[in-house]
Amino acid sequence: MTPSESEPKVPFWLDPGKRAIGFQIITCLMVGLLAWYLVNNTLVNMEKQSIASGFGFLEREAAFEIGESLIEYSASDTYAKALFVGVLNTLKVSFIGIVLCLIIGLFIGVARLSTNWLVKKLAMIYIEVMQNIPVLLQLFFWYALFYEMFPSPRQALNPMAGLFLCNRGVALAVPASHPAYFQMFIAMILGLALGFGLKHWVKKRKFATGRDFPVLWPFLGLSLGLPLLVWVLHGAPIQMDVPELKGFNFQGGIMLSPEFFALLLGLVIYTSAFVAEAVRAGIQAVSRGQTEAAMSIGLKKKHILNLVILPQALRVIIPPLTSQMLNLTKNSSLAIAIGYPDFVSVANTTINQTGQSIEGVAMIMACYLFFSVSTSIFMNWYNKKSKLVER
């Protein structure tokens, strides 16, 4: 008897493996059918009411202005460009927001564990208050504060040379454009690359020979010194572009709007409270025994933090941190309440002018999905990198 004949013949519907495959195929078919049905139904209904569909409108002239933009934009540009302006505005506020929020969150989180009673309580109050006020209310508060507190452009506050505060925003003097700045930027990137290369080399050498080499100072020297050198070589240009009151508003320099400030402030203050809690949880998750063990083998304080505490704390901190970064990005869509022209705001206007809400909403969803998934992928990669390597 061959082995195959020795087994009793099992009908395929009683074989759990085959049955599972069968059910999966059925599920896929059902989902596909449902999706097809919904899409088809929508298209038929839209045709019945003769509502336009498709993305042809992207090529048409937008014919509306956008308050602030990182790129050159006017009402005669296309809807596609208007939407791109919106995407850039969302990225601008999210990126700056995330960076500030990490810095403030880390600071408050560490302060929350301080042995100083006052510092500890202040951090606690900050966290409890900011975490528990809905972010939309905070946005309204900061926005109202901005336009109620500051004077009109003609009576703008001028706390220091080149800085003007008024209810139209903050006008800042910036260095007037000069070819040196672009080269300085290149030099800085070069410096950073060299710095990271050095760090890598130092680590490798230390693993091989056990000898140490200072990293911090050469790193700073390279990344800051090189641009400085380029600046000096260009004859140290110090010409500034100073904002000036012309007509209704300031011209020249850069102008940051109250909407941008209110949104940034609201998002950063709200989210940093959550980040602070994540940081505290991470540090507290490392048991005291770890510190004591590290001390007992004679590690320096700096090394205890770098080699023992932080690597273990980061494992705990990173996952909640990722979700806070995603939260901040998604919450930035509340911008429409206070008039910051983010992607949702521009897309909403587009929907209204073209009447194509399905395409518009689909674009909004796709865009935020893209932001979220790319943040997620990056953070997952970082998380994997800092995971505990078990030997």
Partner 1 sequence: MKSLKMAVACISILAMSAMAMAGTLDDVKAKGYVDVGINGSLFGFGMPDEKGEMKGLDVDTAKAIAAAVFGDASKVKFTALTAVQRLPALQSKEIDVLCRNTTQTLSRETQSGLNFVQPNYYDGQGFLVPKALGVKSAKELDGATVCVLPGTTTEMNAADFFRANNMKWSPVVIENTAELNKAFFAGRCDALTSDLSQLAGNRSVAPNPADYMLLPEVISKEPLAPVVRHGDDQWFDIVNWTMFALIEAEELGITSENVDEMLDSENPSIKRFLGVTPGMGEMLGLDNKWAYNIVKQVGNYGEIFERNVGPDTPLAIPRGLNALWTDGGLMYASPIR
- Cα separation values, 176 from 167, 169, 240, 252, 253, Å: 25, 20, 5, 10, 8
User: Residue 340 Cβ, how far from partner 1 at the closest point, in Å?
Assistant: 9
Q: Does 140 help bind partner 1 (rule: CB under 8 A)? A: yes
Q: Does 26 bind partner 1 (CB under 8 A)?
A: yes
The two tokens of residue 302 are: 């700096």
Contact flag: residue 68 with partner 1 (CB under 8 A)? yes
Q: Among 32, 67, 175, 197, which residue sits at the site for partner 1 (rule: CB under 8 A)?
A: 67
Residue 78 binds partner 1 (CB under 8 A): no
* 369 part of the interface to partner 1, by CB under 8 A: no
Evaluate whether 204 touches 216 at the Cβ level (below 8 Å): no
Least separation in angstroms between residue 41's CB and partner 1 is 5
Q: Which residues lie below 8 Å from residue 36, measured CB to CB, with a gap of 6+? A: none
Stretch that binds partner 1, among 9-17, 93-101, 207-215, 333-341 (CB under 8 A): 333-341
| Part of the chain binding partner 1 (CB under 8 A), chosen from 144-152, 178-186, 198-206, 234-242 | 144-152
Residue 45 touching partner 1 (CB under 8 A): yes
Q: How far apart are CA 21 and CA 16, in angstroms?
A: 9
Q: What is the DSSP string of 188-236?
A: HHHHHHHHHHHHHHHHHHHHHH------HHHHHHHHHHHHHHHHHHTT-
Note whether 112 binds partner 1 by CB under 8 A: no
Q: Which stretch binds partner 1 (CB under 8 A): 65-73, 157-165, 173-181, 309-317?
A: 65-73
Verify binding: residue 20, partner 1, rule CB under 8 A: no
Among 107, 141, 147, 181, binds partner 1 (CB under 8 A): 147
Number of residues that bind partner 1 (CB under 8 A): 54
Q: Which of 78, 131, 354, 386 binds partner 1 (CB under 8 A)?
A: 354
Contact letters for partner 1, residues 217-246 (x by CB under 8 A) = -----------------------------x
DSSP classification of residue 5: H
Q: How far apart are CA 219 and CA 188, in angstroms?
A: 11
Is residue 247 within the footprint of partner 1 (CB under 8 A)? yes
End-to-end CA distance of the chain: 48
CB of 380 to partner 1, least distance (A): 31
Alpha-carbon separation of residue 6 from 1, 9, 18, 387 (angstroms): 7, 9, 20, 49
Give the residue with the Cβ less far from partner 1, 230 or 338: 338
Instruction: Return the number of the residue (46 or 176) whose C-beta is nearest partner 1.
Output: 46
**Per rule CB under 8 A, is residue 212 in the interface with partner 1?**
no
Residue 34 Cβ vs partner 1, minimum distance, rounded to whole Å: 7
Q: Of 41 and 284, which has the nearer Cβ to partner 1?
A: 41
CB 61 within 8 A of CB 77: yes
Query: DSSP of 37-55, one letter per residue?
Result: HHHHHHHHHHHHTT---SS
With binding defined as CB under 8 A, does residue 249 bind partner 1?
A: yes
Which region, judged by CB under 8 A, interacts with partner 1, from 109-117, 176-184, 354-362, 366-374? 354-362
41 vs 380, beta carbon nearer partner 1: 41
- H/E stretch holding 245 reads strand 244-246
The Cα–Cα gap between 77 and 66 comes to: 11
- Binding of partner 1 by 81 (CB under 8 A): no
HSE on the CB side for 291, CA within 13 Å? 12
167 part of the interface to partner 1, by CB under 8 A: yes
Looking at the chain, list the stretches that DSSP marks H as alpha helix, in order from N- to C-terminal side.
Answer: 3-6, 16-48, 79-112, 117-131, 135-149, 179-209, 216-233, 258-285, 288-296, 301-303, 310-331, 343-354, 357-385
Angle formed by the axes of helices 357-385 and 343-354, nearest 10°: 160
- Using CB under 8 A, list all residues that contact partner 1: 26, 30, 33-34, 37-38, 41, 45-46, 48-52, 57, 63-68, 74-76, 140, 143-144, 147-148, 152, 167-168, 246-249, 251, 258-259, 336-339, 341, 345, 348-349, 351-357
